[in-house]
Structure 1
Amino acid sequence: MAYWSHKFRPSITRVAPSAPPLEFHAGSRGRRGRCSSSVSRFEQRRSAVSTRGSTRGVVYVHSSPSAVCPHVEWALSGVVGYRVNLRWTEQPAAPGQLRAECAWEAAPGTGAKLAAALKAWPMLRFEVTEEPSRGVDGERLCYVPGLGLWHGRTSANGDTVVGEDQLRSLVAASGSSEAVAHKVDEVLGGAWDEALEPFRYAGDGAPVAWLHRVG
Structure 2
Amino acid sequence: MTALPPPLSQPSHQHLKTGGYLFIHALPSTVTPHLRWAIESVVKNAVSLNWQEQAACPGHQRAELNWSGQQGTAAQLASALRVFDGIFFEVTERATLTTDAVRFMYTPSLGICAVGTDVLGNFTVTEDRVKYAFEQAEGSFEALYQEFSLMLGEPWDEQLEPLRAASSQSNITHINQKM
* Match of residue 138 from structure 1: 101
Q: Gaps (5+ residues) in structure 1?
A: 1-50
1:41-73 superposed Cα distances (whole Å, 9 cap, x missing partner): xxxxxxxxxx74311100000011111100110
Instruction: Give the TM-score normalised by structure 2.
Output: 0.86
Q: Distance in 1 between matches of 2:160 and 2:95?
A: 23
Q: Secondary structure at the match of 2:169?
A: coil
Please state whether the residue corresponding to 1:201 is helix, strand or coil. Answer: helix
Q: Which has the larger radius of gyration?
A: 2
Equivalent residues of 1:91, 1:203 under 8 A apart: no
| Equivalent residue in structure 2 for 1:206, among 170, 173, 176 | 170
CA contact (8 A) 2:45 2:177 kept: no
- Aligned equivalents of 1:208 and 1:183: distance in 2? 34
SS of 2:80's partner is helix
Partner of 2:65: 102
- Identity among equivalent positions (%) equals 37
Alignment of 1:1-215 (within 5 A): 52-174=15-137, 175-212=139-176
Q: Higher helix proportion, which one?
A: 2
Aligned residues between the structures? 164
Structure 1: distance between partners of 2:96 and 2:85: 29
The letter of the residue matching 2:146 is: H
Which position in structure 2 is the counterpart of 1:39?
none
Between 151-160 and 134-143, the greater mean CA deviation after superposition: 151-160
Q: Which has the higher contact order (CA 8 A, sep 6+)?
A: 1
Cα RMSD, aligned residues only: 1.6
Checking the alignment, whether the CA contact within 8 Å between 2:19 and 2:66 is kept in structure 1 is: yes
How far apart, CA to CA, are the structure 1 residues paired with 2:47 and 2:177?
Answer: 14
